[in-house]
């Protein structure tokens, strides 16, 4: 190395001049060397190693450095850098050493420019779409519709204008990369227009309608003094003073606009109070006074919401029930409404008096008249203008003529006095029924009852205690059993009742003729009834034939009736008798006497040892035995009155009756 080296840089190269002198003898050695890396710093490698080339003059040795450290084996003018770092070249001549200016090498991955839109590619007017460049480390340039944006050299860009956006990385370099285009959409804001539909000056308690002009795809939110109060409706009934506005949102784009402000002024109402001068419950016929104690202006009274005609004064006298209010129109034109007063009108007690007769009269010396009043709380009876001191119940029994009334206080505290009733005294009428007492009526033979009264003007007939409607004459045609009475009211209003007539219909059962058997004397006919009888032959009465049996000695059709006292039954069915066919030999069994009282005799020679039974009309066996000889006597005193049948085992039977 030379003892003295001088350095100079010419045209980007490092140039060195060297010289040497020893002792007295002198000689000079001049050496000029230079070194320069051809690439300018920084050198960008796009995913590939970078080849650096050095231009060297006058040097014999070459060495490459990275980050200040020599690189082993790097001794040629070219070097392939496969690592990022700061590279330089050191050259050496005989006496001098020189190092080039450093060059930075940046080895990057290949660029793949793309645009990200974190919040989407659309925005509302007044805001923008955030665009982010991605794909590697680079210098970026943004374009809109193919035109470079002067302010678009950053990693991100806020696009406030619609159009097609691209980003270019490392523009003009080997690593240049252009993104795919991204369409940016900027939506216009919806119109937000609101207006009052009527005056924005209202009275307290009223409201004013505000209307928002919105389309079907727009949503409106109402605000009052910056506080949200309603959503969705285009109309708003506003009743509070202050500022109103809306936020209108386009549901398709999500963009919103704020309307201009509307202002509402609310005029105050007056305090109006109704005061009653007495209780709110009054009795019918009484009055009450209502008055307005607070407020000033024109007055209008109302009852149940309907104006009371002419009621424009501070005081109102009322008689009717209902809900009373008043309206007062103040100087500001606002109508103030009062409180409500519910007035109840209590009913008076029912003072209609009930009397125990048709007219308020006393009939006869011992007659009394009973007045009865409707239920109430308290009573006071009067005779004329004088109180009947001890008469304080709801009933009054009187026995003297006079003028009577009662004052009744009902349970609600209201009182009323009945009309005065004049009570006169007269003699009682007399009335009787002809016939009277117990009246037996044969079936279907109803008599006529007649009332006898010389002073009667009105009759009322009763059966079994119930009045007979429509029967108001002095005679009554009967048609049914019952206990009958008649009342008569005379010209004085006095009423009297007759004695009772007890009417009973006698029904006589129709008899039935039973064959009593053939005898040598004739055909024995029997009946099943125990009353009196009358027998008939061919419809003609048989004189003296009044028993329960009859011995027919003539051919013909026989019938019979039953007689109970004076009432007769219907005629029985006919029984035909033909005696010409009967002979002595044909009569095998004889039974007598018939009718019987205590015993019967059975006479038949062929019935010895034959079982027999006796049956009553109900088919019950009442006697049984066996014949032991041709003539036998049997005790029938224990049998009741009536018809019986004697039946032999071989089938023959004879009817007989028992009488007493």
Which pLDDT tens digit goes with each residue over 419-441?
Answer: 999 999 988 888 888 888 888 88
- Boundaries of CATH 2.60.40.10 in the chain? 4-108, 114-187, 194-267, 274-346, 354-426, 432-506, 588-660
- DSSP per position, 158-180: EE-S-EEEEEEESTTSTT-EEPP
Give the residue with greater pLDDT, 452 vs 67. Answer: 67
CATH number of 588-660: 2.60.40.10
Mean pLDDT for 618-626 is 80
List beta partners, residue 576.
557
Are 51 and 103 contacting, i.e. CB atoms less than 8 angstroms apart? no
135/180: higher pLDDT: 180
Query: How many Cβ atoms from other residues are within 10 Å of residue 365's Cβ?
Result: 9
Domain 194-267 coded CATH 3.40.50.300: no
Whole-number pLDDT of residue 9: 40
Residues 6+ away with beta carbon under 8 Å from 298: 312, 328, 329
Q: Three-state secondary structure along 255-279?
A: CEEECCCEEEEEECCCCCCEEECCC
CATH assignment of 274-346, given 2.60.40.10, 3.40.605.10, 3.20.20.70, 1.10.3720.10? 2.60.40.10
- Residue 31's pLDDT is what? 63
Give the mean model confidence (pLDDT) for residues 569-597. 73
Res. 220: pLDDT tops 90? yes
pLDDT at 59 over 90: no
Per-chain mean pLDDT for the chain: 86
Distance (Å, rounded) from C-alpha 640 to C-alpha 659? 8
Higher pLDDT, 303 or 596: 303
Residue 456 has pLDDT above 70, yes or no: no
Local confidence band at 588 (pLDDT 50, 70, 90 cut-offs): low
pLDDT beyond 60 at 12: no
Give the per-residue pLDDT at 521.
65
Which residues on neighbouring strands pair with residue 44, listed in sequence order? 106
Lowest mean pLDDT among 528-537, 602-611, 631-640: 602-611
Query: Which runs of consecutive H residues, i.e. helices, occur in 554-636?
Result: none
Cβ count within 10 A of residue 377: 13
What average pLDDT does range 274-294 have in this prediction? 90
The helix/strand/coil state of 448 is strand
Q: Which CATH architecture has domain 114-187?
A: Sandwich (2.60)
Question: In CATH terms, is domain 4-108 a member of 2.60.40.10?
Answer: yes
Say which residue, 605 or 498, is predicted with more confidence. Answer: 498
> What residues have CB less than 8 Å from 605, skipping those under 6 apart?
630
Contact 133, 169 (CB under 8 A): yes
pLDDT in tens, 328-349: 998 888 999 999 999 999 999 9
Calculate the dihedral angle through the C-alpha atoms of 437, 441, 447, 448, rounding to the nearest 10 degrees: 30
Q: How far apart are CA 566 and CA 523, in angstroms?
A: 29
Q: Over the stretch 128-178, which tens digit does the pLDDT of each residue have?
A: 999 999 988 788 999 999 999 999 999 999 999 999 999 999 888 777 899
pLDDT tens, position by position, 82-91: 998 999 999 9
- Could you tell me which of 598, 578, 600, 577 has the C-alpha nearest to residue 589? 600
Condensed to tens digits (0 to 9), the pLDDT of residues 491-511 reads: 888 888 889 989 888 888 888
* H or E element at residue 319: none
Task: Note whether 17 and 6 are within 8 A (CB).
Answer: yes
Q: What is the DSSP letter of 254?
A: -
pLDDT exceeding 70 applies to what percent of the chain?
91
State the number of CA atoms in the 13 A half-sphere of 200 facing the CB: 15
354-426 is classed in which CATH architecture?
Answer: Sandwich (2.60)
Average pLDDT over residues 110-135: 93
pLDDT value for 530: 61
Could you count the other beta carbons within 10 Å of the beta carbon of residue 605?
10
Superfamily of domain 432-506: Immunoglobulins (2.60.40.10)
Among 472-481, 499-508, 575-584, the least confident range = 575-584
Assign 516 a pLDDT band (cuts: 50, 70, 90): confident
Residue 605 bridge partners (DSSP): none
**How far, in Å, CA of 272 to CA of 280, rounded?**
19
Mean pLDDT of 216-235: 93
pLDDT score of 215 more than 50: yes
pTM over the 0.85 mark: no
- What's the mean pLDDT in 383-388? 92
């Amino acid at each position: 190395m030379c003892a003295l080296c001088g350095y100079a840089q010419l045209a980007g190269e490092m140039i060195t001049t060297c010289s040497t002198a020893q002792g007295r003898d002198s000689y000079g050695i001049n050496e000029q060397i230079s070194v320069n890396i051809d690439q300018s710093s920084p050198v960008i490698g796009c995913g590939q190693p970078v080849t650096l080339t050095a231009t060297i003059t006058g040097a014999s040795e070459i060495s490459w450095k990275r980050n200040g450290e020599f690189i082993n084996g790097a001794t040629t003018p070219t070097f392939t850098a496969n690592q990022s770092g700061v590279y330089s070249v050191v050259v050496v001549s005989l006496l001098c050493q020189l190092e080039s200016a450093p060059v930075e090498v940046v080895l990057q991955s290949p660029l793949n420019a793309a645009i990200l839109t974190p919040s989407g590619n659309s925005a509302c007017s007044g805001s923008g779409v955030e665009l982010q460049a991605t794909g590697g480390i680079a210098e970026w340039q943004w374009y809109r519709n193919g035109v470079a944006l002067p302010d678009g050299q950053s990693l991100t860009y806020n696009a406030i204008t619609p159009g097609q956006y691209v980003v270019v990385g490392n523009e003009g370099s080997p690593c240049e990369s252009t993104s795919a285009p991204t369409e940016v959409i900027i939506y216009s804001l919806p119109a937000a227009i609101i207006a009052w539909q009527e005056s924005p000056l209202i009275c307290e308690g009223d409201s004013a309608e505000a209307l928002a002009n919105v389309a079907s795809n727009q949503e409106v939110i109402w605000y009052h003094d910056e506080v949200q109060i309603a959503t969705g409706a285009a109309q708003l009934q506003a009743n509070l003073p202050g500022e109103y506005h809306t936020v209108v949102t386009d549901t398709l784009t999500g963009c919103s606009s704020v309307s201009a402000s509307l202002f509402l002024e609310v005029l105050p109402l007056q305090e109006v109070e109704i005061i009653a001068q007495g209780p709110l419950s009054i009795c019918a016929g009484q009055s009450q006074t209502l008055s307005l104690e607070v407020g000033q202006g024109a007055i209008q009274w109302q009852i149940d919401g309907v104006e009371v005609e002419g009621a424009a004064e501070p005081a109102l006298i009322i008689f009717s029930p209902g809900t009373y209010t008043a309206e007062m129109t103040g100087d500001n034109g606002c109508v103030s409404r009062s409180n409500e007063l519910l007035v109840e009108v209590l009913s008076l007690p029912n003072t209609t008096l009930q009397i125990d007769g048709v007219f308020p009269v006393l009939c006869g010396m011992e007659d009394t008249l009973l007045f009865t009043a409707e239920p109430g709380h308290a009573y006071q009876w009067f005779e004329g203008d004088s109180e009947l001191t001890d008469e304080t119940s709801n009933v009054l029994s009187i026995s003297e003529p006079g003028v009577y009334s009662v004052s009744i206080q009902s349970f609600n505290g209201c009182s009323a006095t009945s009309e005065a009733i004049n009570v006169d005294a007269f003699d009682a009428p007399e009335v009787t029924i002809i016939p009277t007492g117990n009246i037996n009526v044969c079936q279907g033979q109803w008599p006529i009852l007649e009332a006898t009264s010389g002073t009667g003007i009105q009759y009322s007939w009763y059966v079994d205690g119930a009045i007979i409607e429509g029967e108001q004459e002095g005679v009554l045609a009967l048609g049914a059993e019952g206990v009958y009475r008649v009342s008569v009211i005379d010209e004085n209003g006095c009423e009297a009742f007759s004695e009772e007539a007890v009417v009973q219909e006698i029904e006589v059962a129709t008899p039935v003729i039973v064959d009593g058997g053939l005898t040598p004397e004739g055909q024995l006919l029997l009946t099943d009834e125990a009353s009196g009888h009358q027998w008939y032959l061919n419809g003609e009465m048989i004189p003296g034939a009044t028993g329960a049996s009859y011995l027919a000695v003539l051919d013909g059709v026989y019938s019979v009736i039953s007689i109970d006292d004076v009432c007769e039954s219907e005629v029985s069915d006919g029984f035909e008798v033909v005696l010409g066919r009967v002979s002595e030999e044909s009569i095998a069994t004889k039974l007598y006497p018939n009718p019987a009282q205590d015993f019967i005799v059975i006479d038949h020679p062929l019935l010895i040892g034959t079982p027999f039974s006796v049956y009553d009309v109900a088919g019950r066996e009442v006697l049984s035995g066996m014949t032991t000889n041709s003539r036998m006597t049997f005790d029938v005193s224990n049998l009741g009155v009536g018809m019986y049948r004697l039946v032999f085992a071989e089938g023959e039977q004879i009817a007989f009756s028992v009488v007493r």
